[in-house]
Amino acid sequence: MNLILTGASTAGAGGSTILMLVLMFVVFYFFFIRPENKKKKKVEDMRNSLSLGDEITTIGGMTGKIVQVTEDTVTFETGEDRVRIQIKKWGISTTAKMEAAEAEARTSKGKKK
C-alpha cells in the first residue's frame, strides 16, 4: 500500500516541477527577452530612417552631422574643421532626435509620480 502512495506523490512532484519551469520561462520572456527585442527593433528602425542633416553619435562616442547616406554606410562631418568620416550604419548609437525623445519621456514620467 505504501508503494502505491509513494509513486503517486512522485508523479505530482514532476508536474509541479514542469509548471515551475514554464512559469520561470514566462518570467524570463517578459522581463528579459521581450524588452531586448523591442530595443533592437527601435535601434534598427532608427538606423534605417537616417537622413541628411541628422546629428548622430557613434558607438565610439564621435558626434557629427550626416552628409551622405547609402544602403549600409553613413558619412558624417565632425566639428568646425569639417572632417568627413564614413562608417557602417551598425556603428551608430543614437541620434539627437532619439536622445531628445528619451529625455522627454523621462521628464514626463517623473512628473506623473
Supply the pLDDT for residue 1.
44
Supply the pLDDT for residue 105.
83
32/14 Cα distance (integer angstroms): 27
111/113 Cα distance (integer angstroms): 5
| Residue 43 CA neighbour count, 13 Å, CB half | 15
Residue 18's pLDDT band, with cuts at 50, 70 and 90, is very high
Set of cell numbers at residue 98: 532619439
Q: What is the pLDDT of residues 39-87, one digit of tens each?
A: 999 999 999 999 999 999 999 999 999 999 999 999 999 988 889 999 9
What does pTM read for this prediction?
A: 0.66
| DSSP3 helix / strand / coil % (the chain, rounded to 5) | 60, 25, 15
